[in-house]
Amino acid sequence: MNNVAQPWWKSAVIYQIYPRSFMDANGDGIGDLPGVISKLDYLTDLGINAIWLSPVFRSPQDDNGYDVSDYRDIDPLFGTLADMDRLIAEAKKRGIRIILDMVLNHSSDEHRWFLEAKKSRDNPYHDYYIWRDGKPDMPPNDMLSSFGGSAWEWVPALGQYYFHQYSVKQPDLNWENPALRQELYQILRWWAARGVGGFRLDVVDHFGKEPDKKIRVAGPRLHEYIRELSSEVLRGTELVTVGEAWSATPESAKLYSNPDGSELSMVFQFKHIKLDRMPGRENRALVPLPFLQFKQVLGRWQTELYGRGWNSLFWENHDLPRCVSRWGDDGKYRVECAKMLAVLLFGMQGTPYIYQGQELGMTNADYALEDYRDIGVFNHIREMRADGFNEEEILYSLHTTSRDNARTPMQWSTAENAGFTAGKPWIRVNPNYLDINAAAQQADPDSVWHCYQKLIALRRQHPVFQRGYFELLLEKDEAIFAYTRTDADTQLLVLCNFYGEAIDNPLYPENAAGELLFVSYPNISEPQRLRPYEARIYRKPYKTE
Ligand code: NOJ
């Protein structure tokens, strides 16, 4: 296996940009493509290989671009098609590939297809969407939209309902229709021909939905559709694909990321992300992370997919709170905690993803109600009010779980608006930018930013990061996350104190035998003690018997 050429994305590090909040070049308060281009050198310094760009297609922006009205054009908010071509070319010069976020489960209700579809039942585009006959106030069933209310919207002129798993402005596409599927494949090929490096597929596990059976995810035809997409678009190309699949299990992930290339490169799996959600409160409230389960879940994905699939590695994205605030410490030990989480993630097998600002240890935002912008948040507030929660409880819930925690502007410097925009930012800048910003961290060799830069370089230097077998150690230890990665000649030991108290290192003295490849503190400590959130990577030669 080691001699076979591996696809580029197995040794890549991918950086996610939420363009709206990354860098604003034209002063309208909204990040844009010229802004991204202006920061390519920053990303080159960090050492990443590809950028996953959240959607920049033409869109009414009901769900910040996850409602696409033209898949072949750029929304004027973000720039032009020429800007996109320039981004692809400028990134390529720096060895960076651009991964587009394709939202193919649903479109915008302002997409030409939907405007046609709702004209009449016999319009050729009608069957691109999911319609059911009915009567007003009697939806076909009780399925709910993820953004609140019924998943069915009544269109009086047709005497029909259409199905939408997200907002009413995001009608679900009908994947059962072969013509629709071909249309989507053409769009993917069109972008591939323009030079993009791959695709993130939004809610890929919803493609096989069967609303009559109330099936949202992992429907019976799902993998058939993905295999078709793969053979129509991906086969024989270098394109990387990552599907967002909240329902993925190690079993289904082996299909999705089958090394024979029949489906996708990998999926985002969320088992580890769901562990601290309060039962019955979905993503509205968190409980302390059940640490032993966290280790067990991540370990299981590592071992199950070894040689039989491929993992994505991530803690954050534009839908999730910031990891230091969520699982660690965004106060006294913020820096130590951010570094530990980086080491823990980068030591595992898979393709690591960094969400913008994670490399600075950016934190959640303690905003007032009027500072929020997300459609998901508005629904969140409505639901909590209806359930009788008071304003204080609602605010606490938003501070800890809302999607806007990750959508605050990127903190570039101490300049006004954190250097993000010369105008009025579309969403408030987190006031902690005076302490937490890229300029300060690039100048400080002990910063979180330098920790990420170093880890990226280490992964490139030592192939064991890519191919080593994972083994969880100290399974029952309540504070330490430790594992080894072993290939034919090298063994790594990744040792992380997951909490803010200093503790004895139970692996001492064996672990002190290797070379200390990385330590998350600026100075050396006693090998038998781990300081708060301390993380280390040891390396030693390994001989198979
Ligand atoms: C998942 C995306 O990550 C999220 O931001 C979006 O709201 C939904 N899919 C709907 O497209």
Residue 156 CA to ligand 1 centre (angstroms) = 28
Instruction: Return the pLDDT at 545.
Output: 60
**CB-based contact 233:181 (threshold 8 Å):** no
> Does 45 qualify as catalytic in the annotation?
no
**Token pair of 474 as six digits:** 């100290």
Residue 170 CA to ligand 1 centre (angstroms) = 10
**What number is the average pLDDT over the span 510-526?**
87
Ligand 1 atom with least separation from CA of 403: 5
Pocket test for ligand 1, best of 54, 164, 201, 203 (most atoms within 8 A of CB): 203
Residue 19 CA to ligand 1 centre (angstroms) = 15
How far apart (Å, rounded) are the C-alpha atoms in residues 14 and 98?
Answer: 10
Pocket test for ligand 1, best of 54, 56, 66, 207 (most atoms within 8 A of CB): 66
> Does 366 qualify as catalytic in the annotation?
no
In the beta sheet, which residues pair with residue 266? 242
How far apart (Å, rounded) are the C-alpha atoms in residues 317 and 294?
Answer: 18
Catalytic residue among 153, 202, 359, 404: 202
Q: What is the reported pTM?
A: 0.98
How far apart (Å, rounded) are the C-alpha atoms in residues 213 and 382?
Answer: 28
Question: Residue 477's pLDDT band (boundaries 50, 70, 90)?
Answer: very high
Which amino acid is present at 274?
Answer: K
Residue-wise pLDDT for 231-245, tens only, equals 999 999 999 999 999
How far apart (Å, rounded) are the C-alpha atoms in residues 171 and 103?
Answer: 12
Ligand 1 atom with least separation from CA of 375: 7
Residue 202 CA to ligand 1 centre (angstroms) = 7
How far apart (Å, rounded) are the C-alpha atoms in residues 107 and 93?
Answer: 33
3-state secondary structure at position 17:
strand
Instruction: Return the pLDDT at 2.
Output: 46
**What number is the average pLDDT over the span 441-446?**
98
The boundaries of every CATH 3.90.400.10 domain in the chain are: 112-163
Residue 66 CA to ligand 1 centre (angstroms) = 6
Ligand 1 binding pocket (C-beta < 6 A) is 63, 66, 103, 166, 202-203, 244, 318-319
Catalytic residue among 63, 244, 276, 487: 244
The tally of CA atoms less than 13 A away on the side-chain side of residue 439 is 11
Instruction: Return the pLDDT at 510.
Output: 78
Alpha helices, DSSP H, located in 230-333:
250-256, 271-274, 291-305, 323-327
Strands 50-53, 97-102: pairing is parallel
Q: Whose CA is nearest to atom 2 of ligand 1?
A: 202
Residue-wise pLDDT for 452-470, tens only, equals 999 999 999 999 999 999 9
For residue 275, give the nearest of 300, 292, 299 by alpha carbon.
Answer: 292
Instruction: Return the pLDDT at 544.
Output: 67
Question: Residue 369's pLDDT band (boundaries 50, 70, 90)?
Answer: very high
Residue-wise pLDDT for 139-178, tens only, equals 999 999 999 899 999 999 999 999 999 999 999 999 999 9
Q: What is the CATH number of domain 112-163?
A: 3.90.400.10
The boundaries of every CATH 2.60.40.1180 domain in the chain are: 466-541
Neighbours of 270 (CB within 10 A): 17
Residue 75 CA to ligand 1 centre (angstroms) = 17
* 174 to 141, 157, 506: CA distances (angstroms): 18, 20, 55
Which amino acid is present at 221?
Answer: R
* 372 to 332, 380, 388: CA distances (angstroms): 26, 11, 20
Instruction: Say how far residue 354 (Cα) sits from the centre of its chain.
Output: 8
Residue-wise pLDDT for 1-17, tens only, equals 445 689 999 999 999 99
Q: Whose CA is nearest to atom 5 of ligand 1?
A: 319
Pocket test for ligand 1, best of 56, 71, 319 (most atoms within 8 A of CB): 319
How far apart (Å, rounded) are the C-alpha atoms in residues 461 and 118?
Answer: 56
Instruction: Return the pLDDT at 4.
Output: 65
Ligand 1 atom with least separation from CA of 106: 11
Residue-wise pLDDT for 297-346, tens only, equals 999 999 999 999 999 999 999 999 999 999 999 999 999 999 999 999 99
The percentage of the chain sitting over the pLDDT mark of 70, rounded to a whole number, equals 99
For 30-60, b/e burial (b = at least 16 CB within 10 A) is: bbbbbbbbebbebbeebbbbbbbbbbbbbbe
How far apart (Å, rounded) are the C-alpha atoms in residues 267 and 282?
Answer: 22
For residue 15, give the nearest of 347, 314, 327, 451 by alpha carbon.
Answer: 314
Spatial CB neighbours of 186, under 8 Å, sequence gap ≥ 6: none
**Token pair of 487 as six digits:** 């290939």
Q: Whose CA is nearest to atom 11 of ligand 1?
A: 66
How far apart (Å, rounded) are the C-alpha atoms in residues 293 and 303?
Answer: 15
DSSP secondary structure letter of residue 409: P
Residue-wise pLDDT for 73-121, tens only, equals 999 999 999 999 999 999 999 999 999 999 999 999 999 999 999 999 9
Alpha helices, DSSP H, located in 276-390:
291-305, 323-327, 334-346, 375-386
Ligand 1 atom with least separation from CA of 166: 10
Q: Answer whether CATH 2.60.40.1180 is correct for domain 466-541.
A: yes
Mean pLDDT of the chain: 96
